[in-house]
């Protein structure tokens, strides 16, 4: 998922407007997108029953894709691993994603994570002996302009040269019959597209829960509905965690807390500059004669076939409520202000008030925001969802009788440079962070391996320097 600089910065732009006078906000008022506590839409996973263990080799905070895959990685290295999830496995981002697994046009920094991850995803079902719903399916992306086409060709040439991991880049420019077949029954006679043959997808409601079942099978203890309040230290190093159900001693802790990592680290005096961004998602029923696989068109149509035959349909519109962090982080995100037309509207409302009410400091014997927000999301924007579904039906009339199966809202929390944080924390030896990715479903297998390598002192297969926490100090 690529957040255009222009879109991401709308939240910061709105903060700037707020500073210049509340009346200027009136044209930017957005009526959707409110931060709420919700239910999981992912397949339920039973947690480990009984008492918490007294100790573990490693504790993982967070039961999304990063936490679960990091737990698997460490357990496969023979370590005893305990994972804590404040709500449900994949209750937040990892159960709410569009969930395409791609590398097309990714930045040079994250391309290795994506290219390597795609390889790992392809072997995942066989490795764990279960169906995660991952499918290799191919993705067509029609360029939006001549310049976009030129950039895409340049990207392919350069990525071919840098693709490693014993896997050549399987992406090319297509046209003619091949494109017509892949965009079956399209009304527009599309002429040329980028085609990523080995892209894939994993259905968000299924993927991470099935991985979590595997994690349990190989010995990971998973405690759901159990928030970690903070870490403990001894002799200048991490010595364990304190949860709402008691403490667990551990020399190694991984924070994979998704949108909550910023708050968690803030309580420890470490700033993680991430800003919440809202999205909406939906699933619609399939249709005979519809294109298979993954389609991305320049007229704002994006859909992906799921393993169950339904289609995930994404508006790919990113909005940001004006909240306390808009003021705190505005300057760090300000270079992303791209100008141009602003297609989104922003809301000055309850989110702003509520954001000042969430505790940012607490003691380890106090109830934390993690316990009051077991599963959090943003309310969906039906206008955005209707828009993309209507465009899809107009372009592909075979979908005219398709029905909406489900709609939901979601939150991601990127950094200003749109790179993940996969890093040690200098102040707390023994603590490693794996968070802030906006491409977690694609990157997860690689970034969790890199995390496990950092934690165990092994040289990672991918250089983690671009993802280091220290980059924010310079």
Ligand X SMILES: Cc1cc2nc3c(=O)[nH]c(=O)nc-3n(C[C@H](O)[C@H](O)[C@H](O)COP(=O)(O)OP(=O)(O)OC[C@H]3O[C@@H](n4cnc5c(N)ncnc54)[C@H](O)[C@@H]3O)c2cc1C
What is the Cα–Cα distance from 446 to 468, expressed in whole angstroms? Answer: 15
Instruction: Please identify, among the stretches 59-67, 213-221, 337-345, 356-364, the one whose residues bind ligand X according to the rule CB under 6 A.
Output: 59-67
Under 8 Å between Cβ of 94 and 281: no
Select from 72, 410, 416, 462 the one that contacts ligand X (CB under 6 A). 410
Instruction: Please identify, among the stretches 48-56, 81-89, 177-185, 189-197, the one whose residues bind ligand X according to the rule CB under 6 A.
Output: 81-89
Select from 199, 274, 380, 442 the one that contacts ligand X (CB under 6 A). 442
Select from 103, 276, 281, 423 the one that contacts ligand X (CB under 6 A). 281
- 252 part of the interface to ligand X, by CB under 6 A: no
- 384 part of the interface to ligand X, by CB under 6 A: no
Instruction: Please identify, among the stretches 51-59, 289-297, 432-440, 449-457, the one whose residues bind ligand X according to the rule CB under 6 A.
Output: 432-440
- 412 part of the interface to ligand X, by CB under 6 A: yes
- 205 part of the interface to ligand X, by CB under 6 A: no
Tokens of 458: 């092994």
- 83 part of the interface to ligand X, by CB under 6 A: no
Instruction: Please identify, among the stretches 42-50, 51-59, 191-199, 250-258, the one whose residues bind ligand X according to the rule CB under 6 A.
Output: 250-258
Sign of the C-alpha dihedral computed for residues 144, 146, 149 and 150 taken in this order: negative
Q: In what order do the strands lie in the sheet with 301-305?
A: 171-175, 192-196, 139-141, 294-297, 301-305, 311-313, 277-284, 404-412
- 98 part of the interface to ligand X, by CB under 6 A: yes
- 86 part of the interface to ligand X, by CB under 6 A: yes
Per residue in 68-88, is it b (16+ CB within 10 Å) or e — as a string? bbbbbbbbbeebbbbbbbbbb
- 318 part of the interface to ligand X, by CB under 6 A: no
- 133 part of the interface to ligand X, by CB under 6 A: no
- 437 part of the interface to ligand X, by CB under 6 A: yes
- 315 part of the interface to ligand X, by CB under 6 A: no
Number of residues engaging ligand X in binding (CB under 6 A):
41
Instruction: Please identify, among the stretches 86-94, 123-131, 136-144, 350-358, the one whose residues bind ligand X according to the rule CB under 6 A.
Output: 86-94
* CB-based closest residue to ligand X: 64
Nearer to ligand X, 441 or 469 (CB): 441
Select from 106, 415, 435, 468 the one that contacts ligand X (CB under 6 A). 435
Q: For Cα atoms 274, 93, 107, give the angle at the middle one, nearest 5 degrees.
A: 60
- 96 part of the interface to ligand X, by CB under 6 A: yes
What is the closest distance, in whole angstroms, from the C-beta atom of residue 282 to ligand X in the complex? 10
Select from 169, 227, 250, 265 the one that contacts ligand X (CB under 6 A). 227
Nearer to ligand X, 18 or 171 (CB): 171
Nearer to ligand X, 18 or 420 (CB): 420
- 87 part of the interface to ligand X, by CB under 6 A: yes
Select from 7, 38, 92, 203 the one that contacts ligand X (CB under 6 A). 92
- 431 part of the interface to ligand X, by CB under 6 A: no
- 273 part of the interface to ligand X, by CB under 6 A: no
Select from 73, 82, 93, 310 the one that contacts ligand X (CB under 6 A). 93
Nearer to ligand X, 17 or 58 (CB): 58
What is the Cα–Cα distance from 32 to 407, expressed in whole angstroms? Answer: 14
What is the closest distance, in whole angstroms, from the C-beta atom of residue 16 to ligand X in the complex? 26
Instruction: Please identify, among the stretches 28-36, 173-181, 182-190, 430-438, the one whose residues bind ligand X according to the rule CB under 6 A.
Output: 430-438
- 278 part of the interface to ligand X, by CB under 6 A: no
> Site residues (CB under 6 A) for ligand X?
1, 61-67, 84-87, 91-94, 96-100, 227-228, 256-260, 264, 279, 281, 370, 410, 412, 435, 437-442
């Amino acid at each position: 998922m690529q957040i255009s600089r222009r879109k991401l910065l709308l939240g910061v732009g709105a903060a700037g407007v707020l500073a210049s006078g509340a009346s200027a906000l009136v044209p930017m008022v957005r009526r959707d997108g409110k931060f709420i506590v919700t239910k999981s839409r992912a397949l339920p996973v039973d947690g480990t029953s009984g008492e918490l263990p007294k100790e573990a080799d490693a504790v993982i905070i967070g039961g999304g894709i990063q936490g679960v895959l990091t737990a698997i990685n460490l357990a496969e290295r023979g370590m005893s691993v305990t994972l804590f999830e404040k709500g449900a496995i994949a209750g937040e981002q990892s159960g709410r994603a569009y969930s395409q697994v791609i590398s097309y046009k990714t930045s040079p920094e994250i391309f290795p994570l994506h290219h390597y991850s795609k390889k790992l995803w392809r072997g995942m079902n066989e490795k764990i002996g279960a169906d995660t719903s991952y499918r290799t399916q191919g993705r067509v992306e029609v360029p939006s302009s001549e310049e976009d086409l030129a950039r895409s060709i340049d990207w392919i040439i350069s990525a071919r040269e840098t693709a490693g991991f014993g896997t050549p880049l399987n992406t090319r420019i297509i046209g003619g019959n091949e494109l017509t077949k892949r965009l079956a029954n399209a009304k527009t006679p599309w002429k040329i597209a980028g085609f990523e043959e080995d892209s894939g997808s994993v259905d968000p409601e299924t993927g991470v829960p099935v991985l979590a079942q595997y994690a349990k099978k190989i010995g990971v203890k998973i405690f759901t509905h159990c928030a970690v309040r903070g870490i403990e230290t001894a002799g200048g190093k991490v010595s364990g965690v304190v949860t709402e159900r008691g403490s667990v001693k551990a020399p190694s802790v991984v924070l994979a807390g998704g949108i909550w990592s910023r708050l968690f680290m803030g309580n420890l005096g470490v700033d993680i500059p991430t800003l919440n961004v809202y999205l909406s998602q939906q699933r619609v029923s399939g249709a005979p004669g519809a294109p298979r696989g993954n389609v991305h068109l320049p007229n704002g149509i994006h859909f992906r076939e799921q393993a169950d035959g339904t289609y995930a349909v994404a508006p790919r519109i990113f909005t940001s409520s004006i909240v306390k962090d808009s003021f705190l982080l505005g300057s760090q995100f300000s270079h992303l202000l791209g100008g141009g037309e602003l297609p989104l509207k922003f809301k000055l409302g309850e989110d702003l008030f509520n954001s000042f009410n969430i505790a940012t400091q607490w003691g380890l014997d106090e109830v934390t925001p993690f316990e009051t927000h077991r599963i959090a999301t943003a309310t969906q924007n039906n206008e955005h969802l209707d828009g993309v579904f209507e465009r899809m039906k107009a372009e592909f009339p075979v979908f005219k009788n398709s029905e909406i199966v489900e709609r939901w809202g979601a939150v991601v929390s990127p950094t200003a440079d749109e790179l993940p944080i996969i890093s040690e924390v200098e102040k707390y030896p023994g603590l490693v962070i794996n968070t802030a990715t906006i491409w977690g479903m694609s990157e997860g297998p690689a970034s969790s391996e890199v995390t496990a390598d950092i934690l165990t002192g092994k040289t990672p297969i991918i250089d983690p320097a671009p993802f280091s926490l220290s980059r924010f100090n310079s």
